[in-house]
Amino acid sequence: MFGAEPDLRCNDCAAQLRERLNPAAVRRGPARAIAGGDGRATLGLLALLAVVWLAFRFQGARDSLTSLLFAATTAWDATGELVRRVTHAWQPAVWAITHMSFWHLVMNGFALWQVGRIVEVGWGARVMLFVVLGSAIAGTAAGWLLNAVPTIGLSGGIFGLDGWLLALRRHHPVANAVVSRVFIHSLLATTVLLVLL
């Protein structure tokens, strides 16, 4: 049902595994159910987001960070004409952890705390960090490529975690336990809210 191993082929075995890995069971006895994480990577990523946001609150740090994050070099063609501005390859990674607005930081942090811990418990800290940072970097880079303006924030990473859970809901008991009709409706409502804002 949830995998190919022999102990997962029967319905009773799958139901027992689902009960053991259900987030409610994680709260009752976390030592039994944790696959590879305990929320420390999620908490560390939240701390990093807060430190970067606080750094932008101080004038000296804001000026140097702004010139570092949003500076672009110019490229010239063979005739000496200015052709385009080139963004450095590492900048989309830093844009992903940068939040300018307090409410942007709070909303992304709250969503990361809710979904990131679940993915970390079910698949481990490395997978959670790979999915959230990979999706966030891809989102900021795609936004820059489409708009030619830097996009900032971890929203792409949050949607990457949500997509991870949606994609694995039929194959993994943690995703199956978390993804419900309420989860899908809240994800749709969040998407509509982000488009409107």
Q: What is the 3-state composition of the chain as percent helix, strand, coil, each rounded to the nearest 5?
A: 70, 5, 25
With cut-offs at 50, 70 and 90, classify the pLDDT of residue 181: confident
Q: Identify the three-state secondary structure at position 77.
A: coil
Average pLDDT, the chain: 76
The helix or strand, by DSSP H or E, that contains position 76, with its residue range, turns out to be strand 73-76
**6-16, pLDDT tens digit by residue?**
544 566 666 66
**17-72, pLDDT tens digit by residue?**
666 655 555 445 444 444 455 788 999 999 999 998 888 888 777 777 776 666 65
Model confidence at 142: pLDDT above 60: yes
User: How confident is the model at residue 34, as a pLDDT?
Assistant: 44
pTM score: 0.70
Q: Among 191, 176, 194, 179, which Cα is nearest to 1's?
A: 176
Q: Which of 81-90, 97-106, 133-142, 172-181 has the lowest mean pLDDT?
A: 81-90
* Cβ atoms of 23 and 178 closer than 8 Å: yes
C-alpha angle 34-40-27 in degrees, rounded to nearest 5 = 40
